[in-house]
């Protein structure tokens, strides 16, 4: 009876929208709950029973159930199964009791694609979640003092939108940092403060490419960039990454790029460092097609071994590289401040459009950050973070040692806050990541970042968020789960 109901709804959803199966099942169950067809307190069949009744893979069923549990529709009671939550959040209970329609809102095709592909799991912050720094170390009291000081000193202009590309002292501080540490040759005027890399990417896509133009991306890719380009209506052409970074072939040049998005100093997520010949090749290709390169330098502050790398922007003779940086990793992501360095010939257009499209502001916050940098607090936060992440990275590498060998190796551990454990192609990395998720640890499957290719398997494992003690404790748990999967291949 339940399975018939779910299958009918899933069939309807699959005709209406091109949703993946786990999303169809999730949506069908969610509606059954909201419509009262599954009553509060009801016990659900086990995932094994649902797998059999619905003739779906277990991964599909588990992914749908996990999502419903994360959103509070289901509750697990140890030893007795899974139940429909009796205390659904108020807005959802209301939808259920009244006759407000619960069918999917009519989204645009783009809206549907944006809300159903490359979605970050809501249960993100657990030991080993990639891409997250440890913001518990942020000096909150000091930050509060600086903010209070700037709010006290604030004069009316500071409360207005900012039309100059951001607070001048912050732009100066960023320019000084980039000149010294990233060899980016620049003048202060080229720095534009944004609300982070996501906004910088949108601005680049909006100003430098037209709807339907092609952007080259790395495959596997950073989800945030894929979404920024989807949202701006660009055609994405994904190019496989090898151990030297994005590796375009002559055939790729048939899809002439207007933009090339890349993470050369630590490819996200494989960790590949782009070699010098590859950097030169990319600059030559960009020149040939009169394309712009968007260099996302998201975690270069954390380099643990190997010589310091200079940026791609530092090699650019032609002024066609735009350099994107963020304070999300060194300070905290909710700060929502980053920077974009644009070639001189783009400065006026970018400032104007940034003002018109985004109405930037937050000047007292920018002033506090500028002072935080000028007084040396940024440098000491960075020093402390580097030291602490180096220990965590070492500890994780130690824990993963028993997994390494014929079937598994590590890439990208020289820099950043994550590494990538590369696994053989016959291994289902998404199922392994789910199994590890059931242990209360979050790692991401490398294949989940792939746009087209089907030959990259592995686990993307973060060491930034988890304290050293958690890595010491859970590293061996993670390693055992991986080892038992690898043992099946022998
Ligand atoms: C590749 C990459 N770029 C940029 C960012 C930071 O983006 P934002 O400044 O929008 O927080 C991240 C964060 O996870 C990232 O992984």
Distance 397 CA to ligand 1 centre (A): 24
* Cβ-based burial of 476 (10 A; exposed 0-12, middle 13-18, buried ≥19): middle
The position carrying tokens 């490398």 is 446
Whether ligand 1 lies within 6 angstroms of the CB of 333 is answered as yes
Q: What is the CATH number of domain 138-375?
A: 3.40.640.10
Distance in angstroms (rounded) separating the CA atoms of residues 106 and 296 = 34
CATH architecture type of domain 2-106: Orthogonal Bundle (1.10)
Unique residue bearing structure tokens 């949202």 = 231
Is residue 196 lining ligand 1, measured as CB closer than 6 Å?
yes
Test site for ligand 1: of 129, 174, 193, 224, most ligand atoms within 8 A of the Cβ: 224
Predicted TM-score (pTM) of the model is 0.81
Q: 355 CB contacts (<8 Å, ≥6 apart)?
A: 161, 162, 163
Q: Output Rg (C-alpha) for the chain, integer angstroms.
A: 24
CA distances from 170 to 195, 338, 347 (A): 13, 11, 17
Taking only the tens place, the pLDDT of each residue in 283-332 is 999 999 999 999 999 998 898 877 777 899 999 999 999 999 999 999 99
Ligand 1: which of 130, 222, 419 to mutate, judged by most atoms within 8 Å of the beta carbon?
222
Which alpha helices (H) appear in 232-346, and where do they start and end? 276-289
* 207-221 pLDDT tens trace: 999 999 999 999 999
What's the gap in Å between 90 CA and the centre of ligand 1? 33
d(CA 386, CA 417): 10
User: DSSP 3-state assignment of 43?
Assistant: strand
Q: How far apart are CA 129 and CA 465, in angstroms?
A: 7
Euclidean distance between CA atoms 324 and 198, whole angstroms:
10
Q: Is the dihedral of CA 152, 156, 160, 163 positive or negative?
A: negative
| Cα 389 to Cα 203: distance, rounded to the nearest angstrom | 32
Q: Ligand 1: which residue has its CA nearest to atom 16?
A: 131
CA distance 189 to 391: 38
Fold (CATH) for 385-487 = 3.90.1150
CA distances from 173 to 15, 152, 176, 321, 325 (A): 54, 22, 5, 21, 13
Q: Report in angstroms the alpha-carbon separations of 256 from 214, 220, 280.
A: 7, 20, 18
**Residue ranges in the chain modelled with pLDDT below 70:** 16-18, 70-71, 78-79, 88-104, 121-124
- Tokens 């580097």, residue located: 386
Q: Cβ(296) to ligand 1 under 6 A?
A: yes
Cα distances (Å, whole numbers) of residue 140 to 75, 143, 366, 372: 35, 5, 16, 12
Number of separate helices (H) and strands (E) present in the chain: 16, 14
Query: Where are the chain's structural domains?
Result: 2-106, 138-375, 385-487
């Amino acid at each position: 009876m339940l399975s018939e109901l779910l299958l009918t709804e899933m069939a309807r959803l699959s005709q209406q929208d091109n949703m993946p199966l786990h999303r169809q099942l999730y949506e069908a169950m969610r509606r059954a709950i909201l419509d009262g067809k599954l009553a509060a307190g009801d016990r659900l069949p086990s995932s094994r029973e649902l797998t059999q009744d619905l003739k779906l893979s277990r991964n599909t069923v588990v992914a749908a159930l996990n999502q419903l549990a994360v959103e509070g529709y289901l509750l697990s009671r140890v030893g007795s199964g899974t139940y429909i939550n009796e205390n659904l959040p108020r807005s959802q209970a209301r939808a259920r009791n009244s006759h407000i329609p619960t069918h999917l809102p009519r989204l645009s095709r783009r809206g549907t694609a944006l809300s159903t592909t490359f979605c970050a799991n809501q249960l993100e912050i657990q030991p080993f979640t990639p891409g997250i720094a440890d913001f518990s170390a942020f000096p909150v009291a000091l930050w509060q003092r600086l903010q209070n000081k700037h709010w006290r000193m604030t004069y009316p202009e500071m409360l207005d939108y900012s039309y100059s590309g951001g607070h001048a002292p912050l732009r100066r501080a960023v320019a000084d940092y980039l000149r010294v540490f990233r060899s980016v040759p620049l003048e202060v005027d080229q720095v534009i403060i944004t609300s982070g890399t996501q906004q910088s990417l949108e601005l680049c896509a909006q100003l430098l490419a037209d709807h339907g133009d092609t952007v080259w991306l790395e495959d596997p890719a950073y989800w945030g960039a894929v979404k920024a380009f989807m949202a701006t209506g660009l055609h994405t052409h994904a190019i496989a990454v090898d151990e030297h970074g994005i590796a375009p072939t002559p055939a790729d040049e048939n899809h002439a790029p207007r933009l090339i998005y890349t993470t050369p100093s630590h490819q996200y997520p494989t960790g590949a460092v782009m070699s010098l010949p590859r950097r030169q090749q990319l600059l030559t290709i960009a020149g040939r097609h009169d394309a712009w390169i968007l260099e996302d330098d998201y975690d270069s502050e954390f380099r643990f071994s190997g010589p310091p790398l200079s940026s791609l922007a530092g090699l650019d003779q032609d002024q066609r590289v735009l350099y994107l940086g963020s304070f999300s990793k060194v300070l905290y992501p909710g700060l929502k401040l980053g920077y974009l360095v644009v070639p001189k010939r783009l400065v006026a257009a970018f400032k104007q459009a940034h003002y018109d499209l985004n109405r930037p502001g937050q000047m007292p916050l920018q002033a506090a950050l500028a002072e935080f940098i000028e007084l040396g607090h940024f440098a000491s936060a960075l020093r402390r973070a580097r030291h602490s992440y180096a220990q965590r990275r070492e500890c994780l590498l130690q824990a993963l040692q028993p997994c390494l060998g014929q079937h598994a190796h590590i890439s990208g551990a020289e820099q950043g806050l994550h590494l990538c454990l590369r696994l053989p192609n016959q291994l289902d990395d998404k199922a392994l990541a789910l199994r590890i998720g059931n242990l209360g640890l979050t790692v991401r499957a490398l294949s989940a970042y792939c746009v087209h290719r089907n030959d990259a398997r592995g686990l993307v494992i973060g060491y930034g968020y988890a304290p050293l003690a958690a890595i010491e404790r859970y590293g061996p748990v993670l390693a055992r789960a991986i080892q038992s999967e690898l043992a099946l291949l022998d």
